Chains A and B, each alone.
Chain A
Amino acid sequence: NAGVTQTPKFRVLKTGQSMTLLCAQDMNHEYMYWYRQDPGMGLRLIHYSVGEGTTAKGEVPDGYNVSRLKKQNFLLGLESAAPSQTSVYFCASRNARRVAGPSGGANVLTFGAGSRLTVL
């Protein structure tokens, strides 16, 4: 099925270890995002990308790096994991252009199923 796929779904790390979360979308979306979800805090934007080869910082970027070498993939890296990075991570994508009227459904932000990361 078309959509956003995240891997891995679960991961346990020790403090100081590194890892990469992979996000892949097959909808030809220009924009891609990484959010983290913590209890009582909703979704907070970590990094985002407006196209292949470009990335930018979101609300909580510290401790994370990202890369978008291909349009369909957006990678989130943790170079030295910390317990504060224990969270559920969501990738999302959408079209670049706003669409009004009956085709407004094209504005929808599509999410992956999430990756649950625990840092001990």
Chain B
Amino acid sequence: SQELEQSPQSLIVQEGKNLTINCTSSKTLYGLYWYKQKYGEGLIFLMMLQKGGEEKSHEKITAKLDEKKQQSSLHITASQPSHAGIYLCGADPLIISSGSARQLTFGSGTQLTVLP
């Protein structure tokens, strides 16, 4: 089955600092998705990476997928309190098993706190 390790589990940073969250898959992926969740709310889609070596940015958040398509990182530059929340990575498997519905496997999440 797909294993997805996410680190760190929690992160506390001072406003203005940079930070990185990592996500590692045990298998090659078709796609890697990053979501953000604020307490008590649903998951908001941030970015999707599909190509080896791909990098995408949105405002101050940059996500990268390695060439082997097994590792991804999410980097936040000059963090702000609005960046606080839980970040989850989701893996879309390369090989779809018979009968599956292409469900994503998720990492355990990274709780980010940004101190003003």
Give every chain A residue within 8 A of B9 (Cβ-Cβ).
Answer: 40
B48 touching A107, Cβ below 8 Å: yes
B33 touching A108, Cβ below 8 Å: yes
Asked if B95 lies at the interface with its beta carbon under 8 angstroms from chain A, I say no
Contact of B42 among A31, A42, A105, A111 (CB under 8 A): A111
Q: A42-B106, A94-B102, A100-B50 are in contact. Are A107 and B42 (CB under 8 A)?
A: no
Residues of A61-120 at the interface with B, using a CB-CB cut-off of 8 Å, are: 90, 94, 96, 98, 100, 104-105, 107-114, 116
CA distance A40 to B43 in the complex (A): 16
Asked if A45 lies at the interface with its beta carbon under 8 angstroms from chain B, I say yes
Please, which residue of chain B has its CB at the minimum distance from the CB of A109? B104
B6, B31, B50, B103 pick with most chain A CB within 10 angstroms: B103
A56 touching B92, Cβ below 8 Å: no
In this complex, the interface size class of chain B, counting residues with CB under 8 Å from chain A, is 20 to 34
B102 touching A98, Cβ below 8 Å: yes
A114 touching B103, Cβ below 8 Å: no
Please, which residue of chain A has its CB at the minimum distance from the CB of B109? A42
Quote the shortest CB–CB distance from A83 to chain B (angstroms). 21
CA distance A68 to B37 in the complex (A): 27
CA distance A38 to B88 in the complex (A): 13
Q: A111-B42, A113-B42 are in contact. Are A49 and B31 (CB under 8 A)?
A: no
Residues of A31-61 at the interface with B, using a CB-CB cut-off of 8 Å, are: 31, 33, 35, 40-43, 45, 48-50, 56, 58
CA distance A33 to B43 in the complex (A): 14
A56 touching B108, Cβ below 8 Å: no
Q: A104-B50, A107-B48 are in contact. Are A112 and B31 (CB under 8 A)?
A: no
Give every chain B residue within 8 A of A35 (Cβ-Cβ).
Answer: 106
B101 touching A48, Cβ below 8 Å: yes
Q: A107-B92, A109-B90 are in contact. Are A45 and B103 (CB under 8 A)?
A: yes
Residues on A lying within 8 angstroms of B by beta carbon are 31, 33, 35, 40-43, 45, 48-50, 56, 58, 90, 94, 96, 98, 100, 104-105, 107-114, 116
